[in-house]
Structure 1
Amino acid sequence: MTSPSIYQQAVREIYEAIADVDTVKTLQEKYHAVIEGRTTTHEADVYWEFTDGDITYKTVIQATERTTLEELSKFLRIVRDVPGQVMGIIVTSPVYQKDIKEMAATAGILLCELAAPAAGEVWEPVVSNIRVNVDKAWVKEAKEKAGLGNEPVAVSADPRYSFIYDENGNCVTTVQRIFDQYGKQLQATAGGPQTIVHTFNDSAFLQTNHELVPFIKLDNITFDVELANMNQIHGKEMLADILDSILHYFRR
């Protein structure tokens, strides 16, 4: 019998961690699931359906050794065939291709990247509980000028893969680079878990999907960062990050 890969093992641990989630109500959880789509049935490693009391969310989780554009397109067709508020999760090896990352972020697919186990212990910074806080007064004024009223203005992608711009529309950094900055500091000091509130010295903006308000001003970004043993798979931590990403994506 072939041993499961670290990606299959991670998905199994994510599935097992669902039973301990108490911040939302699980409606369905299936391992080696068969999912009913609009046009046909689909197979997935894990299917998780839950509600926050107002909205029902559906999660399709798949493990793969290496994510290619072809694999991503195939998975996207499955996700889009499932009705409702659906988020796709791919547990995979590190993805370095920019086009794959951008396609996944735009399509609402979260890439959970795991490095192959090393010979010794490898400790890396892990970011969770991400909150991108906008300048509410600025947003209100911008929407009033555009005549939008209470119409929501959403950012264009998952924040962790987003670019940050200055007031002239020039790209100055990325959200991931901010995470990396604090992660390196934590590695250098070998410190314990920290909650970071990152503020900006100059005006900073994220791009949106709205033509009348193409950029939205940021107030700060808050997140937790801690060192994790990369030779161990933490299903509960991965599930917590997945849940946080799903709720942020659909509530934005």
Structure 2
Amino acid sequence: MTTQNIYQQAVYDMYAAIAGAAAIKTIKAQYNAVIEGRTETHEADIYWEFTDGDIIYKILIQAKEQVSLGELFSFLRIVRDIPGQVMGVIVTQPVYKKDVKDMAANAGIILYELLAPLTAGIWEPVISNIRINVDAAWVKAAKEQAGLGDEMIQMNANPKYTFLYDENGNCVDSVQGVFDYYGKERNSAGTEQEKIVHSFAEPVFLQTHHEMVPFIKLDNITFDLEFVNANQMPGEEMLGQVFEKTLKYFGH
């Protein structure tokens, strides 16, 4: 893919991601759209309407290899000719001119800046299907000793902030650290998804939110690991950022 069309491809990836964005209530999505404005009709690479339940937001997305002040003014005129809560998005190469950046920020236009992909692929580890498995027998004995019966013991559900401790209560690692270890060890040797079962040579514990059982023993951590090409435009991620920036701009 050349630098002349990575922006169009990124826009198409965003459009393709709309159908899978289950968390966003889409009203209308059009590719190569023609939109009725107050004074005339306009064209856009993507026209997207979604709602938060109360307000309907309208997004115009255009791909441009370069953005000048003149092009920004023309796009702003289109955005302002469409009634409602309208946000403009231009997918383009990095913009270094301060006047262009300032005008876009003040006018409610997102400049989604992309670097041209490198010739060689950049492969990044992706973790999914995470299961943190406790030592069931150890936990049962600890609960019986504390007189808790079948009472549930809550743990931190976010792996990025789940730390691992030794028998003396010293922090020795984190769940994210385990993920990082395998990401570096495999070093994108292949792109096939791999099921990882990580066991521990020494007893390892998780901190809980329970006063009587502050730590529970861990058995293993299982997860799926695969490597994805970072040069492939992540349409879902780009779309999510546009969604979040739109709500933030309009004060939600």
TM surpasses 0.5: yes
- CA displacement 1:65-121 (0-9 Å, x = unmatched): 111111111100000000000000000011111111110000010011111111223
User: Normalized against structure 2, the TM-score is what?
Assistant: 0.56
Task: Quote the offset at 1:123 in angstroms.
Answer: 7.5
Partner residue, 2:99: 99
* Cα distance in 2 for residues equivalent to 1:75 and 1:191: 46
Partner residue, 1:112: 112
**Structural RMSD (CA):** 2.6
Q: Is 1:23 the counterpart of 2:23 in the alignment?
A: yes
Q: Which consecutive unaligned segments of at least 5 residues does structure 2 have?
A: 125-179, 184-227
SS of match in other structure, 1:251? coil
SS of match in other structure, 2:250? helix
SS of match in other structure, 2:23? coil
Alignment of 1:36-115 (within 5 A): 36-115=36-115
Partner residue, 2:34: 34
* Cα distance in 2 for residues equivalent to 1:106 and 1:243: 18
Q: Partner letter of residue 241 of structure 2? A: D
Task: Quote the offset at 1:3 in angstroms.
Answer: 10
Partner residue, 1:245: 245
- CA displacement 1:97-150 (0-9 Å, x = unmatched): 1111110000010011111111223579xxxxxxxxxxxxxxxxxxxxxxxxxx
- CA displacement 1:151-170 (0-9 Å, x = unmatched): xxxxxxxxxxxxxxxxxxxx
How many residue pairs get aligned? The number is: 153
Q: 4+ runs of 1 displaced by more than 6 Å?
A: 189-192
Q: Partner letter of residue 25 of structure 1? A: K
Alignment of 1:214-225 (within 5 A): none
Query: Given that residues 72 and 104 in structure 1 are in contact (C-alpha distance below 8 angstroms), is that contact kept between their aligned partners in structure 2?
Result: yes
* Cα distance in 1 for residues equivalent to 2:112 and 2:84: 22
Query: Given that residues 115 and 230 in structure 1 are in contact (C-alpha distance below 8 angstroms), is that contact kept between their aligned partners in structure 2?
Result: no
SS of match in other structure, 1:20? coil
User: Normalized against structure 1, the TM-score is what?
Assistant: 0.56
In 2 relative to 1, CA 67–229 (structure 1 residues): closer, same or farther, beyond 3 Å? farther
Query: Given that residues 121 and 229 in structure 1 are in contact (C-alpha distance below 8 angstroms), is that contact kept between their aligned partners in structure 2?
Result: yes
* Cα distance in 2 for residues equivalent to 1:116 and 1:50: 30
Task: Quote the offset at 1:23 in angstroms.
Answer: 2.3
Task: Quote the offset at 1:251 in angstroms.
Answer: 2.0
Q: Which consecutive unaligned segments of at least 5 residues does structure 1 have?
A: 125-188, 193-227
Q: Partner letter of residue 118 of structure 1? A: L
In 2 relative to 1, CA 235–106 (structure 1 residues): closer, same or farther, beyond 3 Å? same
